[in-house]
Amino acid sequence: MEIRIPPEYLEFIALHGAIESFTEGKPGYVELWLPEDIATNNEDIQIKELAPGYLAFAGNGGGEILAFNSQGEVFMLPLIGMEARYAQKIANTWNELAGCIELPT
């Protein structure tokens, strides 16, 4: 099953850009990726082979990535030792995570 980028993420990026910012709670910091970079970045980190069932869309600046599953839930996975079993759910939806991002003023 192909995992798609939630439309809410695309809307957020269109409005705010691929921002880097602190968050309230986990992950603590996000470096969002532009939609056109997501496929290449996922190939580069080999997520399909190492953690099937996830689509990475951001980093946290600390060696972890943020990824969607097929239901649109948001997980954190380590870049080193990446395996699906190490995925930590941090939000039920993109909008839940987006509500925790400190937007630049």
Q: Is the pLDDT reported for residue 7 higher than 80?
A: yes
pTM, two decimal places: 0.94
Tell me the CATH number for domain 7-98: 3.40.1580.10
Cα distances from 32 to residues 22, 94, 97, in angstroms, run 11, 12, 12
Rounded mean pLDDT of 76-100?
97
Average the pLDDT over 37-45 and give the result.
97
- Is residue 13 very low, low, confident or very high in pLDDT (cuts 50, 70, 90)? very high
**Alpha carbon of 80 to those of 14, 46, 47, 50, 90: distances in Å?**
31, 11, 11, 10, 19
Residues 62 and 8: their CA atoms lie apart, in Å, by 25
Q: How confident is the model at residue 18 (pLDDT cuts 50, 70, 90)?
A: very high
